[in-house]
């Protein structure tokens, strides 16, 4: 009997998770399928329990359901600390919530040969994705500066992880100076995402060669930020790598099987390159 996996969100039609997970299932010869379901905030509890009752293998959650799910499942320590759930595991009567976003970002950096410990990292944005990324970076020994339009949100996030390591929050007023001091810069905002592809928070004149510029936006594949980084001679990492690595972590949680990340990445890039 085929096992069903899914991502819930509202909206959710744009998700490329089905593409990469179905490519992994096919490559491994597993009798499984992954689908998208539009689920509203009000219906999330019923949808999660319905999926469990119908024998789904596991779930992913995307905007705007990650924070709400924290109250509906048994969060593991990482999800609880981050304050959001993006992966749900059905385990022997329990519904366990995980967060693989931060781990996915760190694995994307490491797979590109980037050293995190003792690096100065500038994180642009202070939303849900930033929370997961900052938590994992601080855990792994980075010195993190969070820059956000609303400085209070950046400071609050920094305070939340201060017991784990070094983090501070600030505004966007001194971006050139912040960029200059950073070894790694990570954009966790939606700036530059389709259809507003011409936008970027930082430009090539602020950057220098040897810096690592990581954009979590993956549509378009080559964002304006990454184009600016290439002009400056910086190392670039696209958002597909995080998508794949967080997805691979979810895959392992659900199945106990090691997925093929190269197959997953290629499947997503094939779709994006045709758009």
Interior/surface letters 231-259, b for 16+ CB within 10 angstroms, e for the rest: ebebbbbbbbbbbbbbbbbbbebbbeeeb
Tokens coding 133: 């990324």
What are the catalytic residues?
Answer: 66
Q: What sign results for the dihedral spanned by CA atoms 63, 68, 72, 78?
A: positive
CA distance 186 to 241: 13
Q: How many CB atoms lie within 10 A of CB 56?
A: 18
| CA distance from start to end of the chain | 34
Which tokens go with 25?
């299932």
């Amino acid at each position: 009997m085929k096992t069903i996996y899914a991502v819930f969100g509202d909206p959710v039609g744009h998700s490329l998770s089905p593409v990469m997970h179905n490519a992994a299932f096919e490559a491994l010869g597993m009798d499984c399928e992954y689908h998208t379901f539009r689920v509203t905030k009000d219906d999330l509890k019923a949808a999660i329990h319905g999926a469990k009752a119908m024998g789904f293998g596991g779930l992913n959650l995307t905007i705007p359901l990650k924070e709400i799910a924290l109250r509906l499942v048994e969060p593991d320590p990482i999800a609880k600390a981050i304050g959001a759930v993006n992966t749900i595991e059905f385990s022997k009567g329990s519904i366990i919530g995980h967060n693989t976003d931060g781990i996915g970002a760190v694995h994307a950096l490491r797979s590109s040969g980037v050293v995190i410990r003792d690096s100065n990292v500038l994180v642009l944005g202070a939303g849900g994705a930033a929370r997961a990324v900052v938590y994992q970076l601080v855990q792994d020994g980075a010195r993190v500066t969070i820059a956000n339009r609303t400085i209070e949100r950046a400071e609050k996030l920094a305070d939340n992880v201060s017991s784990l390591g070094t983090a501070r929050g600030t505004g966007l007023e001194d971006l050139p100076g912040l960029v200059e001091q950073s070894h790694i810069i990570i954009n966790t905002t939606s700036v530059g995402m389709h259809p507003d592809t011409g936008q970027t928070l930082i430009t090539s004149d602020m950057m220098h060669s040897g810096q690592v510029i990581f954009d979590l936006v993956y549509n378009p594949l080559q964002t304006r930020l990454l184009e600016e980084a290439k002009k400056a001679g910086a190392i670039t990492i696209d958002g597909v790598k995080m998508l794949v690595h967080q997805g691979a972590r979810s895959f392992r949680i659900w199945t106990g099987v090691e997925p093929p990340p190269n197959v997953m990445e290629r499947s997503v890039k094939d779709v994006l390159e045709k758009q």
